[in-house]
Amino acid sequence: MAAREEIPALWVEKYRPRRLDDIVNQREVVERLKRFIEDKNIPHLLFVGPPGTGKTTAALCLVYELYGEVWRQNVLELNASDERGIQTIRERVKDYARTVALGDVPFKTIILDECDAMTSEAQWSLRRIMEMFWRTTRFILIANYGSRIIEPIQSRCAIFRFSMLSKEDVAERLKYIASQEGVTLTPEGLEAIWYVAGGDMRRAINLMQAAAAYGGPVDDVTVYKVAGRARPAEVHEMLKLALKGDVIGARQKVYELMINYGLSGSDIVRQIHTEVFRLDIPEPLKVEIEDIVAETDYRLVEGANEDIQLTAFLAQLARLGKKLA
């Protein structure tokens, strides 16, 4: 992509769907939400699912369609990971909850994003507010981990579970954005984005934007560079060298990955975890390798020396590789 005078600060926001029908891969969720819009009434809602699967987008689309032009006057959106203390709940949320709605819909809506980051005390205070002001206010709670939400709040909400997006849906959206922005997205670049982001659409769009900022086509080399990941083929080669007993060669490959891509030992171990399943080796051997990966990752997280732990990991791979002979 040639140099541009204006690059959007965040393509995620620019290309966020504005209608429920534009949301992909969550058809069951969308159909249930549309029934609430038809009735002009919703219960308290709890959206649960992995990051980047459309939870916040679904909440915003719901209030767009529910309130129409006056949605801004009837919706309070808070990121609970920033404003998660009991003081915020008792003051800002409670003050807003007691006010009367404008327009045809008889209640206002409070969207609490990342509410699984709220303290336990704040959640108990929120439970009481949900109970007291149910006539004038509805809550849409958004969480990555539903188990971190206290049971009394879960029991007061209709729970919607969001699944990871499919590869086809992610690819279709990225191709659309690339065409709108004049970006050249290569098939290899698209595959690399999927490898790094998986079903997280937000991360996929951000990766493509970061790669496009380099000024050339969005290919696999650029994507892995901006993502801070090594190319899978290089990690694959390192694993094969170790399994063949060439610990010195594999160790040199590890150093090259750390220098060329700026990776830490933990980054490499996490990528090894993914690549082990792609190796053409017997399944029982993959299980043994993953057990070693888990132990190495634990030791690195606890502060062990990266060089020693990675070398020990490669040595154990060489020992296991003798079973392939």
- Same structural domain, 174 and 211: yes
- Same structural domain, 266 and 302: yes
| Cα–Cα dist 51/57, whole Å | 12
For residue 230, give Cα distances in angstroms to 45, 208, 225, 254, 272.
Answer: 40, 17, 8, 10, 10
- Same structural domain, 209 and 89: no
Q: Is 58 within 8 Å of 20 (Cβ atoms)?
A: yes
Instruction: Give 239-285 as a DSSP string.
Output: HHHHHTT-HHHHHHHHHHHHHHH---HHHHHHHHHHHHTTSSS-HHH
End residue of a domain, out of 177, 200, 227: 227
- Same structural domain, 220 and 283: no
Domain CATH code at residue 153: 3.40.50.300
What does the pLDDT read at residue 288? 93
- Same structural domain, 36 and 143: yes
Please report whether residue 120 resides in a domain.
yes
What does the pLDDT read at residue 4? 37
- Same structural domain, 34 and 138: yes
Q: How many domains does the chain have?
A: 3
Please report whether residue 16 resides in a domain.
no
Domain CATH code at residue 262: 1.20.272.10
- Same structural domain, 262 and 207: no
- Kindly report the length of the chain: 325
Nearest to 113 by CA among 84, 148, 147, 71: 84
- Same structural domain, 250 and 208: no
Under-50 pLDDT residues of the chain: 1-8
- Same structural domain, 67 and 141: yes
Please report whether residue 12 resides in a domain.
no
- Same structural domain, 150 and 215: no
End residue of a domain, out of 128, 161, 194: 161
- For residue range 25-41, list pLDDT tens digits in order: 888 899 999 998 888 88
Please report whether residue 318 resides in a domain.
yes
What does the pLDDT read at residue 8? 44
Nearest to 137 by CA among 80, 62, 74, 84: 74
- Same structural domain, 109 and 189: no
Domain interval for residue 173: 167-227
Please report whether residue 254 resides in a domain.
yes
Q: Are strands 75-79 and 45-48 parallel, antiparallel or unpaired?
A: unpaired
Please report whether residue 70 resides in a domain.
yes
Q: Is 116 within 8 Å of 152 (Cβ atoms)?
A: no
Q: What's the whole-model pTM score?
A: 0.80
What does the pLDDT read at residue 309? 94
Q: Name the DSSP letter for residue 93.
A: I
What does the pLDDT read at residue 194? 93
What does the pLDDT read at residue 296? 95
Please report whether residue 221 resides in a domain.
yes
- Same structural domain, 136 and 59: yes
- For residue range 225-235, list pLDDT tens digits in order: 888 888 898 99
